Amino acid sequence: MQIIEIYKSLQGESSYTGLPCVFVRTAGCNLRCVWCDSEYTFKGGQRMSRNEVEREVWKLSPDGGLVEITGGEPLLQEGEVVPLMENLLVKGYTVLIETSGERLLNKVPEPVVKIVDVKCPHSGEGGTFRLENLQYLTTRDELKFVLASRKDYEFARDFIREHDLSARVASAILSPAFRKDAAGARDVSHCLLDPRDLAEWMLADGLHARLGLQIHKFIWEPSRKGV
Ligand code: SF4
């Protein structure tokens, strides 16, 4: 499979935030979100066998723990990524996959925690979420909405309510988009949507959802890779 990087850091998003995690970042994405912070994954990387990937994961975390398969879009390499996830589960890892919602989830092993984006209007990729994916989600999984505006928030709020996400998944996460050119200061001035506005809107609407900040961008320099 084509791999950009494998590294260990703290999980920066989802309800696993703050926990040590090995990240397997695959190459290639078929979407082009305007605020994407992973454009370096679109090309390049190195060819690695499943065994080589598993060995790297084991070296970084020999005693089990969290492994996230991310990208790019990992399900573009489904034929290799699915057996990789199956092997990691057998070895006792808790496996997460972060995916755009545009790829069908039917082949993802059921015990894998799926963290699935629903692209909002200002991403430039609105409408790409495949509604049939809702049937493959369990109460272990999470749906994530990255927001750049009030319009994005209203889209997410209405989607959460229309599809009764609070009953369907572990968390619906609303996360302010980060500026692509964010550098230097590690604070909310880089968010395209002020988290305080988002918090107030959620509370005013009584929305059953989780506000998520990408904590790695507050711990390390925002444009730093491999964290
Ligand atoms: S789906 Fe993810 S990797 Fe692909 S363009 Fe959007 S944010 Fe970037």
- For the segment 141-168, the average pLDDT, to the nearest whole number, is 97
Ligand 1 atom with the smallest distance to the CA of 100 is: 1
Indicate if ligand 1 lies below 6 Å from the C-beta of 13. Answer: no
- What's the pLDDT tens digit per position in 101-139? 999 999 999 999 999 999 999 999 999 999 999 999 999
Indicate if ligand 1 lies below 6 Å from the C-beta of 33. Answer: yes
Reference 97, options 168, 154, 25; nearest CA is 25
Q: How far is the CA of 71 from the centre of ligand 1 (A)?
A: 8
- What's the pLDDT tens digit per position in 88-103? 999 999 999 999 999 9
Q: Determine the pLDDT at residue 223.
A: 75
Q: How far is the CA of 29 from the centre of ligand 1 (A)?
A: 6
Q: How far is the CA of 157 from the centre of ligand 1 (A)?
A: 21
Is the whole-model pTM more than 0.85?
yes
- For the segment 150-161, the average pLDDT, to the nearest whole number, is 98
Q: Determine the pLDDT at residue 171.
A: 96
Residue nearest to ligand 1 atom 7, measured at CA: 36
